[in-house]
Structure 1
Amino acid sequence: MPDPAPPRRTAVRGVILDFYGTLVRLVEPLPPSHRPLFLRRGLAEAADRWGDQWSAGPRDGEEHTAHSTSERAYHAWELDRLRRRALACGVPAAQAGPLAAELDRAMKDLRLARFDDVPEALAGLRARGLTVAVCSNWFWDLDRALEDTGLAGLVDVAVSSARAGARKPHPLIYRTVLERCQLAPREALFVGDMWEADVAGPLAYGMRAVHLRRPDRAVAGTAPPLPDGAARIPTLAALSALL
């Protein structure tokens, strides 16, 4: 007897993409360093303790639903986290609040541009009748960032960690974007440049995943071996061949 045919996989009905590093990149002028903000206040020792300017945000995989009830509540939490970190670094209490507000503005002073292959790739997905979504560890204003980079008209659903109440690879954010798209996990393909957030996390939640490794990627290091259910591409232009 011939070998039985392998079971057919459920057809992909929607593609969910990461935002930064997948659809857009930073362009000059780059965000300002945090150190001068401390030095202007005579806080050199606190600046040394603060460390990397991007380490002050929520951790990947962190759940924060209690603070994601509204934009106002979330922003208050952002400021309070920065203020408490500043205090822990030795910033005097009278300066911690104003410094936190300035650090918050500096962290969000981002100049973004879409990668050249993005518009055609997203338009091609929509031409196939697929739902196109963006799921990102991002601030509250992901919708505005999509608008500013000319991508809003190519995306059906946008879910940020700030609004979902958890950061990838927490299951809550995947559940949120799938519900918004009205997709079952097996019907979705997740695409992104970060391994845990965009590949391992979606696979664990039952989606298929594509690891985007652009030649000019910001993520250094060797790519992990591909598990079952995952693929790897160098550009979004190569995505259509997988569908």
Structure 2
Amino acid sequence: MPAYRAVVFDFFGTLTRSVQRGPQHAEIARALGADPEAVRGVLDRTFRARAVGRYGDAAATLRWVIEQAGGRPRQAQVRAGVPARVNALKADTRLRGDAVSALSAIRRRGLRTAVISDCTHELPAFLPGLPVGPLLDAKIYSVRLGVCKPDPRIYLAACRALGVSPGECLYVGDGGSHELSGAAAVGMTPVRLAAPDLANHLVFDADTNFAGCTVRSLTEVIGLVDHTRLEPATVV
């Protein structure tokens, strides 16, 4: 029997390839009467606040962002901008080539799977429809829970949803949001995904001092499940 009962994944940069904002974001900004670079700046500096829902629902948050960037959007523009934002983030999202096969292999071994994502309102709108959606037993979104990684509550929410203890979980992530040290702190075994494409990934609060196990692909996680009970990570 494998040593672990569940594998918990980050989403952006882990189940997906590296993420950068595509051209649709600039188009949305212009349609709402704001300068795209000003909007980009607001998005970058307010990510964590938006990811815990500080500015309200999707429409209220979009209006707030545009107003901070100097725009004064009409209600109809904001209404149209909400689905446009969902489409823009979905367009930025490219699943890793081995995401579906790795999740499927893990589930065939009898392990449960979950995703924990620091995200804004858009991800819950489109993740369930992606090919990985049916392969995840639990989906924990910061914007719905009201806390971001590395807050212990976000990891423990995943454990409750899966019916496992933290010590029975591998946590796989690229290291944004200090997620690996946060996973270790609650008793999970963290694994860094260091795929080559992540050099260009849009990341906030990277876990730069992580010194635990590292893999180069999601496929390698299957081998960890099969053969290894990892030593606890070292975070310096």
TM-score range normalised by the length of the shorter chain: 0.7 to 0.9
- The number of residues matched between the two structures is 218
| In structure 2, distance between residues paired with 1:146 and 1:51 | 23
User: Cα gap change, 1:130/1:79 in structure 2, threshold over 3 Å: closer, same or farther?
Assistant: same
| In structure 2, distance between residues paired with 1:114 and 1:197 | 22
Alignment-mate amino acid for residue 200 of structure 1: S
Per-residue deviation, residues 179-204 of structure 1 (Å, max 9, x unmatched): 10112111111101134343122112
Alignment-mate amino acid for residue 107 of structure 1: R
Q: Does 1:239 align with 2:221?
A: yes
| In structure 1, distance between residues paired with 2:224 and 2:163 | 22
| In structure 2, distance between residues paired with 1:32 and 1:154 | 29
| In structure 2, distance between residues paired with 1:61 and 1:201 | 20
Larger Rg: 1
State the match for 2:154 in structure 1.
173
Gaps of 5+ in 2: 226-236
State the match for 2:141 in structure 1.
160
For the residue of structure 2 that corresponds to 1:166, the secondary structure is coil
Please give the residue correspondences for 1:215-226 in structure 2 after superposition, counting only pairs within 5 Å.
Answer: 215-217=196-198, 218-219=200-201, 224-226=208-210
| In structure 2, distance between residues paired with 1:145 and 1:84 | 22
Q: Does 1:204 align with 2:188?
A: no
| In structure 2, distance between residues paired with 1:18 and 1:91 | 33
Higher alpha-carbon deviation: 181-190 or 193-202:
193-202
Q: By how many angstroms is 1:16 displaced?
A: 0.2
Which of 104, 112, 134 does residue 131 from structure 1 map onto? Answer: 112
State the match for 1:191 in structure 2.
172
User: Cα gap change, 1:31/1:207 in structure 2, threshold over 3 Å: closer, same or farther?
Assistant: farther
Query: How high is the TM-score relative to the length of structure 2?
Result: 0.73
Q: By how many angstroms is 1:136 displaced?
A: 1.2
State the match for 1:214 in structure 2.
195
| In structure 2, distance between residues paired with 1:41 and 1:239 | 43
State the match for 2:48 in structure 1.
59
Which structure shows the higher helix fraction? Answer: 2
| In structure 2, distance between residues paired with 1:210 and 1:61 | 27
State the match for 1:18 in structure 2.
10
Alignment-mate amino acid for residue 136 of structure 1: S
Residues 59 and 79 in structure 2, CA contact (< 8 A), matched pair in contact too: yes
Q: By how many angstroms is 1:151 displaced?
A: 1.6
- Tell me how large the CA RMSD over aligned residues is: 3.6
User: Cα gap change, 1:143/1:184 in structure 2, threshold over 3 Å: closer, same or farther?
Assistant: same
Per-residue deviation, residues 130-189 of structure 1 (Å, max 9, x unmatched): 111111123456566344321233222222122222222222211211110112111111
Identical aligned pairs, as a percentage? Answer: 26
Per-residue deviation, residues 25-61 of structure 1 (Å, max 9, x unmatched): 4799945133x445457655xx554343742754179
Q: By how many angstroms is 1:103 displaced?
A: 4.6
Higher alpha-carbon deviation: 96-105 or 196-205:
96-105
